[in-house]
Structure 1
């Protein structure tokens, strides 16, 4: 399901519009780790696996001589090429489990919001294969919590969000892929065949979002897309009721309110010796 979903051009465009912003904290964490492990030596090559439209690929450009973004989705790669703004960044359609790179040729292999969709063991070994000595691995993602803050209305908003997640989890047909983020990539940490590795969890991120943006984000979720395929009418009612309940809680402020949505980021880091 997920593999086909990301190949759809319409979905790629919506994903670009409603996915939450790049976490500067995570990017700084990854880059600091790489520079520490390489003792500040010049960095030649980074590959961002499952790069999507390049949102976590482009921030690597100032720090490496070359950056390659790979993704199995041609529509995502086409978007990435369209919005690319760095001369040292290129993109290619390729599977995460079979990277088009030579052995020991890469300083950093990273996967942002993507590793849980891969065949994890195969990807982990492929990443190690292409890494140079002292090369680094970084996989990071996030999950949304039920918590939404707005003035003294947070409790009522959180009740709605909890019910939304309860409904969507009924359509979790890919329990393993969803399970990786819910355990904060513990399974991915364990799959990396390197001794020097770190697992960092519970990195809090708060993002201000409108009702429209929250609903847009929910529509990106694979579980929501499965609901659409199973029952379009039920999906439409689900969205209508969710927006109605938000508006009832927020009243006259519904169109102007910026709600604070809580997310938790997590990261697996490793170094090849």
Structure 2
């Protein structure tokens, strides 16, 4: 299965908590004025694009990957959402034309100074920038086995970090560099936003496969990557016991968000 399709099907669900933070901020800063256009930069398969549709007259998703845009178009269920291939550092909009520039789970790939300056260029007065992602770690809660499950997840992340690049550091520091670089004086940095999801362990295995670091692992050594998944599944089963497949786990991840408003 192509990675774009894996990402669409197996990445963790969109965070409603983050979307509420973003939309509340936009409504506060725009003083209730009609919202015409949102641009979701680095939109991937459109997972954070579609939730914007009910709140804006038009939503445009952009991404540098043609395959991601193809999948986004395939899964587009909103009449006011469209997609195009475009780099984050050169947005295809006029000056002062956008109410929201959003980037979810994407900005760690951007050339930050060019992206934030482009965002400032296209934003209207009182237009907003929202850049968010999740911290690359997770806690898993299930009865007395929470400690062992969380330790296993830590081992998994540590293994995947071997196949990361500088984008990992940006996520570990919760986009501090984006906050500092954004040329908008009215800005906020919201850290450690807890988001809890209910997942079965096979869904966690699927999530691992949707992470770009695992994709890099697989490209470097597909056999070892396959063995890693088999070993990881075995570890989960050892901890959870015979009923492993039917046990629903509470998986907590921390998200973070940089918000800014143009005046």
Rounded to whole Å, the distance in 1 between the matches of 2:208 and 2:190 is 25
Q: What is the distance in 1 between the residues matched to 2:12 and 2:217? A: 22
Structure 2 alignment gaps of length 5 or more:
none
Asked if the contact 2:192/2:256 (under 8 Å) is kept, the reply is yes
**1:120-164 alpha-carbon deviations (Å, 9 max, x no partner):** 110000010101111111001112424211111112222222222
Partner of 2:32: 40
Contact 1:144 1:262 in 2 (8 A): no
Deviation at 1:65, TM superposition (A): 1.2
> Number of matched residues?
263
Q: How far does residue 84 in structure 1 lie from its aligned partner after superposition?
A: 1.3
Structure 1: runs of 5 or more not aligned: 1-8
Deviation, structure 1 residue 262: 1.4
* Partner of residue 133, structure 2: 141
Residue 69 of structure 1, CA deviation = 0.7
Distance, in Å, in 2 between the alignment partners of 1:239 and 1:81 is: 30
Q: Distance in 2 between matches of 1:161 and 1:32?
A: 32
Matches within 5 A, 1:62-211: 62-172=54-164, 174=165, 176-211=166-201
TM score, norm. by length of structure 1 = 0.93
Cα deviation, 1:202-254, whole Å, max 9, x if unaligned, reads 00011111111111111122221222122222212211111111111111111
TM-score (norm 2): 0.96
C-alpha RMSD of matched pairs (Å):
1.3
Determine the structure 2 residue equivalent to 1:272: 262
Q: What's the CA shift string for 1:92-119, capped at 9, x where partnerless?
A: 1111101111111111111011111111
Q: Is the 8 A contact 2:138 2:153 kept in 1?
A: yes
Contact between 1:69 and 1:92, CA under 8 Å: does it hold in 2?
A: yes
